[in-house]
Structure formats: structure tokens, C-alpha cells
Amino acid sequence: MPLLWLVLILIAASIVGFFLGRQRALHTADGNPRDLHSLPSYYGHNVAFTGLLPALIILVIWVLVQPIIIDNRVSNLIPSTAIPENSTLGLVMSDVRRVADGLDHAVSEGSLSSERASALQADKTDVRALLGESGIAVGNDVRPEILSAAQKYRKINHVGSSVMTALVLLIAGGGFIYAYSVTHKDFRARNIVERGVLGLLILAASLAILTTVGIVLSMFFETLNFFSLHSWKDFYLGTTWAPNFRGDSDLSILPLLWGTLYISVIALLVAVPIGLFAAVYLSEYANNTVRSFAKPLLEILAGIPTIVYGLFALLTVGPALVTFFGQGNNGILGVEWMAGATSVLTAGVVMGIMLIPFVSSLSDDIINAVPQTMRDGSLGLGATKSETIRQVVIPAALPGIVGAVLLAASRAIGETMIVVMGAGAIAKFSLNPLESMTTITTRIVSQLTGDTDFASPETLVAFALGLTLFVLTLGLNVLALYIVRKYREQYD
């Protein structure tokens, strides 16, 4: 792994640089650290960082940018005639990449010499069989233009990697030499190092922005690809979800959105009353003993991983509901309303349990923020405690509680494991909570796991679903934060 080696070389060099820099600084001060401008270790850090950081930054940028440039250069080589019907440039490019990776793999395994790999000709050798021997499956037969593009791809890739290694080492070396040469007892090493550290801190903080940008871009471009293959009108306004891996699928979000919202509503119907009453009781009635043991216990529910709730839905709650509402005369109610363990009710109830502590602890904070004077005023006028809570405390806390409920709703919409295991896989509009329905997150998982082909609308639809989900939850969060913030200003 050459990249790892490169990084290790850089790190080793910077450690050496640290000691050299410190030594030189002490040397120029005749071994008396009090004559130095900064503490000796700052001179060492200066040398180490000046060599390491620019090289590392160049390395990261290069690794990120190289694939884009190569893709551009190589995709120019593919004539538009080489793109088959109902396929895209992206699909052909992924073939090219697979063939190139396959050749690389074959060369590294030793089953193919690198000269031979670059001299292969598709009309003379069966490249597919050749790659199959070294364990790389290529979907279609390798056509000549794909093979030549793949060879070009490999060539540019190799050239790029060697240029990168040389450049990075050069920059690192230059940095070390420069920093070492300016090291002198009057050199203001601390100021330079501190400025560098501040830059690193800013970089770390900006990672949050980078992540958001990454999330949006990674989904945005694939979503655009999807909409070039599938009409956006059908996606947002159609009424059937029937993916078909032979193509010509009905991919509409509405049935999935219906399932998502239905399950979320049931979850909120469970979580909001229980969570709210629990919060009211804990903050207004409970004595310290009850509070100190009930609150942490309830919060355990929030710390349990969702896979546990998923399993609970699939293996405990679902079958329990079936014995109530299903199995003909053997069931407790003797009705045949529920066929399988997965249903909207199963997922909704379990998700509701998960959300109880979420609602209760948020509401608890908000109820506690209502000033005591308002309660005292109400009690002084002769209202009972419950009247005070219902008519004074809750109305005062209402915006905050609404915010908490919205946050819980956003959590419910984005929840994955419980619905994957408890809700089922059938996309339909139905009002019956005992039927199984499917959700946006469930479909993202099912479209992106297993064998996926990133050029088919059936796979790409997952990115459009993901983007919609992201926008939906983000909207709810922003709305909730807005409401909460607006409320808080009234009493601060």
C-alpha cells in the first residue's frame, strides 16, 4: 500500500525534523535556552509542521481530485457511438473502471505482466475470461473501446500516482530544509507554530461544513442522474412503487411517504402522551427519590440501540399482535385481521416506546424553564396543581413542547432499523394499521444492499429518496429549533 508508506515516511521525517530543529535552535543559542525567543520545542514543532502539513494537504487534495480528472480525460475517449441504447456514460465508465481494477488486480497477483496488460487487445484476447481467472467478474463482454479506455485509465492513474508521490516528497523536503535553515535563536517560532495550530483548529471545525456539503453533494449528483433516467414528475407525483430490476419500474415516493408518515403518527400517538405526562409528573409532582430513579431509568430507553428495538418488534411485539388480531379462531380475539408479524402498528408502537424518553426529557427541560412565579401566581389565586399545570404551565411551555414533538417526528421519519425489521416491504396506500407497509428508509436500505448497479434507476432512486429524507428531517429540525428559540426569548 504505497499511500500508507508515503504517509508513514512523512511522519517519520517530521519526527526527525522535530529533533533536528530543536537541536539547531539550542545550538545557535550556545545551549542556553534562555537566549531563545521561544521554548526549544517550538523550534522543533516548527520544522516538523512546516514539512509535514503542506505535503499532507497536497496529498489529500490530490487523492480527492485525481479521480475526477481521470474520469474526465477517459470519458472523452469514449465515443458517443460506444454508448449502447438505454445506457449512460456513467454506466460505461463504471465498466471501464471495473476492467481497469481487474487488470490492476491481475498484475498485482502476478497472473498478468504489466506490459501485457497495457498491450491487450479486445478482439484478440477474451479479456472477460482472463479477468475471470483472477477472480474479477466483469458483467458484459469487454468491447475494444472499453478496453482501450481502461488501459488509458490505468496509465493516467499510474502517472498521477507517481507524480503525486514525487511532488509530496519534494514539498515535504523543501519545507523541512526551509524551516531548518531559518531556525535561529531570534526566530519567532512560537508565533508561527501557534498560527499553524490555529489553522488546524479552524480546519477541524470546518469539517462540519465539509460533512454537510459532502452529504448534499453525494446525494445531489446521483439524484440528478436518477432524474435524467426517470421523470421527476413520476417520482414525486406518481402513486405506485414497483421496482423491477429488468427496468421500466414504477418508482414513486408517495406510497413510501404515506407509510413513513403513518408509522410516525402512530409512534407519536404512543410517545407524546406518555412522554408528556411522564415529564409533567416528574417535574411537578414527583419527590426527589422518585425523580432520581425514574428519570435515569426512562432515559435508558433512549440509550438502547435501535437494532434491539427492531428485534423486539420483529420477534416479540409483532407475534404478540398477531395472537391478538390474527390466526383465525386460535387467536385471542378470534379475528383474522393480521396475517404477518410486520405491520404499521408493530413498527409504530415500538418506535413510540423508543421516543418516550426523547419527548419526556425535552419536555422536562422546557417545563422546568417556566418561571416558578407563574405557578405561584396561579396557585395563589386558588387553582389546584393540575389546573395550574393545564392552564398556566403547559400553555407557557407549549411552543417548546411543539418543538420537542417536531424533533421526535423528525427522529421517527429518519428511523431505520425498527421499520426495516418491523414494518414490512409492501408499498401501498392503506388505512389499516395491521397491514404491513414500507417506508422511505426501508427502501433506501433495500435498493442499496446486495448487488447494485449504479447506473440503473432502481439503485439511483435510493439517492433521490435519501435527499428527500434529508430535506424533510432538516426542515422539521429547523422548524423545531426556530420554535424553541423563539419561545426561549420570552423568559430569558
Partner 1 sequence: MSDTSQTSSRQGSSLLELSERTKKRNAAEARFRGYGMTAIAIGLIMLMILVFTIISKGVGAFQQTFVTVQVELLADKLDKKGNRNLDDIKKVTTFGYSPLIRAAAETSVEQAGIATDLKSKDIAGLLSKNAAATLREYVVSNPNQIGDTVTFRFLAQSRVDGYLKGRVTRESIANDKNISVAQLDLVDQLVDAGVIQKSFNLAFIFGSDASDARPEAAGIGVSMLGSLFMMMVVLVLALPIGVAASIYLEEFAPQNWLTDIIEVNIANLAAVPSIVFGILGLAVFINYLHLPTSAPLVGGLVLTLMTLPTIIISTRASLKAVPPSIRDAALGVGASKMQAVFHHVLPLAAPGILTGTIIGLAQALGETAPLLLIGMVGFIASNAPDGLASGLLSPNSAMPAQIYEWAKRADPAFYERAWGGIIILLVFLITMNTIAVILRRRFERRW
* Residues in region 29-88 near partner 1 by CB under 8 A: 63-64, 67
Size of the site for partner 1 (CB under 8 A): 92
- The helix (H) or strand (E) run that includes residue 56 is helix 40-77
Span 432-451, contacts to partner 1 by CB under 8 A: 441, 444-445, 448-450
User: What is the distance between the alpha carbons of residues 146 and 77, in angstroms, rounded to a whole number?
Assistant: 9
- Strands of 233-289 (E only): list them: 241-242, 250-251
Q: Is 32 left (phi over 0), alpha (psi -120 to 50) or beta?
A: beta
Q: Which range in 76-84, 164-172, 338-346, 412-420 contacts partner 1 by CB under 8 A?
A: 412-420
Contact (Cβ atoms closer than 8 angstroms) between residue 49 and residue 11:
no
Q: Which is nearer to partner 1, 129 or 290 (CB)?
A: 290
Q: Which of 27, 158, 188, 390 binds partner 1 (CB under 8 A)?
A: 390
Q: Which of 13, 36, 99, 219 binds partner 1 (CB under 8 A)?
A: 219
Span 95-124, contacts to partner 1 by CB under 8 A: 101
Q: Which is nearer to partner 1, 414 or 424 (CB)?
A: 414
Query: Which residues are CB-contacts of 363 (< 8 A; sequence separation ≥ 6)?
Result: 275, 276, 279, 280, 397, 400, 401, 404
User: What is the distance between the alpha carbons of residues 390 and 381, in angstroms, rounded to a whole number?
Assistant: 15
User: What is the distance between the alpha carbons of residues 382 and 391, in angstroms, rounded to a whole number?
Assistant: 13
Least spacing, CB of residue 388 vs partner 1, in Å: 10
Contact (Cβ atoms closer than 8 angstroms) between residue 150 and residue 100:
yes
Interaction between residue 454 and partner 1 (CB under 8 A): yes
Positive or negative CA dihedral for 386, 401, 406, 300?
Answer: negative
Least spacing, CB of residue 264 vs partner 1, in Å: 12
Q: Which of 41, 125, 240, 477 binds partner 1 (CB under 8 A)?
A: 477
Interaction between residue 281 and partner 1 (CB under 8 A): yes
Q: Which range in 20-28, 179-187, 200-208, 226-234 contacts partner 1 by CB under 8 A?
A: 200-208
Q: Which is nearer to partner 1, 212 or 244 (CB)?
A: 212
Residue 183 corresponds to which amino acid?
A: T
**Nearest CA to 226 among 467, 466, 455?**
455
Span 127-186, contacts to partner 1 by CB under 8 A: none
Q: Which range in 51-59, 141-149, 235-243, 276-284 contacts partner 1 by CB under 8 A?
A: 276-284
